[in-house]
């Protein structure tokens, strides 16, 4: 296998006791949350740090398939251990929409604000108690060429209006079950403790720790 400049940088860069692993995403918010959830035993490397600035494909019709596609894409390109996530918001009264299309719910290009506006418009006449929903996150791990999958969910309701300045995506309108705050009103630590991605990443962390021995 050819040793590229990117791989040399990956293998010989900053040395510490942390295990390096590539996170197949260009979303810095996701990187921040994943780094907090994984902890200091792991060092996340992004595709951009390996010199890749293109689009990572997600062409499938389900969340698990998209997560797998993204992880396999980075593995095939760099042959480095990596993981990818795909996440969707499932609103019960909308028959599970926006689901796998959450990031592009309002069309192209991706626009989180317009996605929220569209969602609230569709729920305009739906009372709060019927606005049940969940975030679903699937994480695909490619480790030495083998695929493993992890999933986390977070149940809740869609708020009547956006609240909070933290987080990203649909966080300003998602109220986790048992709380009165939206995810956009929570700190990273508070969010990771209960969120779909936090749960999936903790399962990933447990598996990586097993692999490390």
Per residue, what are the HEC states of 162-190? CCCCCCCCCHHHEEECCCCCCHHHCCHHH
Element (H, E) at 140: strand 132-143
pLDDT digits (tens, 9 = 90+) for 108-167: 888 999 999 999 999 999 999 999 999 999 999 999 999 999 999 999 999 999 999 998
| Domain span at 75 | 5-212
The domain tally of the chain equals 1
- By C-alpha distance, which of 123, 125, 153 is closest to 139? 153
Say what the pLDDT of residue 155 is: 98
Say what the pLDDT of residue 2 is: 40
Say what the pLDDT of residue 86 is: 95
Say what the pLDDT of residue 13 is: 52
Handedness of CA 136, 34, 65, 110 (dihedral sign): positive
Say what the pLDDT of residue 203 is: 95
* CATH assignment of the domain containing 49: 3.90.950.10
Say what the pLDDT of residue 3 is: 41
Say what the pLDDT of residue 106 is: 94
**Exposed e or buried b for every residue in 92-106, given b needs 16+ CB within 10 A?**
eebeebbbbebbebb
Q: Give the whole-angstrom CA distance, residue 93 versus residue 89.
A: 12
The single residue of 5, 53, 76, 86 carrying the catalytic annotation is 86
DSSP-based helix, strand, coil % in the chain, nearest 5: 40, 25, 35
- Give the count of alpha carbons within 13 A of 200, CB side only: 27
86 is catalytic: yes
Say what the pLDDT of residue 9 is: 56
Mark the ranges of the chain whose per-residue pLDDT is less than 70: 1-16, 213
CA 84 vs CA 11, 78, 204: distances in Å: 20, 14, 11
- Bin 86: left if φ > 0, else alpha if -120 < ψ < 50, else beta: beta
């Amino acid at each position: 296998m050819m040793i590229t400049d990117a791989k040399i940088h990956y293998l010989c860069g900053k040395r510490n006791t942390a295990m390096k692993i590539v996170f197949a995403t260009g979303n810095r918010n996701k990187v921040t949350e994943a780094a907090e959830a994984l902890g200091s035993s792991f060092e996340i490397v992004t595709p951009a740090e390996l010199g890749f600035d293109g689009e990572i494909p997600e062409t499938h019709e389900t969340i698990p398939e998209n997560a797998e596609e993204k992880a396999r894409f980075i593995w095939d390109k760099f042959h480095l251990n990596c993981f990818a996530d795909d996440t969707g918001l499932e609103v019960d009264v909308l028959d599970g929409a926006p689901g796998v299309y959450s990031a592009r719910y309002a069309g192209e290009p991706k626009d989180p604000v317009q996605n929220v506006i569209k969602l609230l418009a569709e729920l305009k006449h739906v009372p709060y108690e019927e606005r049940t929903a969940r975030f679903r996150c699937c994480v695909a791990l490619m480790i030495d060429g083998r695929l493993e999958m992890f999933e986390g969910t977070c149940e809740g309701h869609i708020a009547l209006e956006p609240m909070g300045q933290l987080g990203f995506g649909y966080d300003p309108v998602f109220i986790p079950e048992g709380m009165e705050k939206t995810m956009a009103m929570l700190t990273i630590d508070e969010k990771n403790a209960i969120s779909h991605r936090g749960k999936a990443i903790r399962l990933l962390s447990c598996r990586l720790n097993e692999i490390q021995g």
